[in-house]
Structure 1
Amino acid sequence: MVMNRIKVVLAEQRRTCKWLATELGKSENTVSRWTTNRTQPSVQQLYDIAAVLNIDVRCLLTPSKE
Structure 2
Amino acid sequence: MEEVNRIKVVLCEKKLTSKWLSEQLGVNPSTVSKWCTNSSQPDLSTILKISDLLKVDIKELFVREYKQYLLSKENK
TM bucket, shorter chain = 0.7 to 0.9
Q: What do the CA deviations read for 1:15-62 (whole angstroms, capped 9, x no partner)?
A: 000000001111100000001111011011100100010111110013
TM-score, normalised to structure 2, is: 0.75
Instruction: Tell me how far apart the structure 1 counterparts of residues 52 and 46 of structure 2 sit (CA, whole Å).
Output: 10
Alignment-derived partner of residue 28 in structure 2:
27
Alignment-derived partner of residue 37 in structure 1:
38
Tell me which protein shows more helix as a share of its residues.
Answer: 2
Residues matched between the structures, number: 61
What is the RMSD of the two structures over their aligned residues, measured on CA atoms? Answer: 1.5
Instruction: Tell me how far apart the structure 1 counterparts of residues 5 and 33 of structure 2 sit (CA, whole Å).
Output: 12
Higher relative contact order (CA 8 A, sep 6+): 1
Q: Which stretches in structure 2 are left out of the alignment for 5+ residues?
A: 65-76
Q: Which structure 2 residues correspond to residues 1-66 of structure 1 after superposition, within 5 A? A: 4-62=5-63
Tell me which protein shows more strand as a share of its residues.
Answer: 1
Instruction: Tell me how far apart the structure 1 counterparts of residues 32 and 60 of structure 2 sit (CA, whole Å).
Output: 17
Q: State the identity as a percent.
A: 43
Query: Alpha-carbon deviation of 1:4?
Result: 4.5
Q: Higher Cα Rg: structure 1 or 2?
A: 2
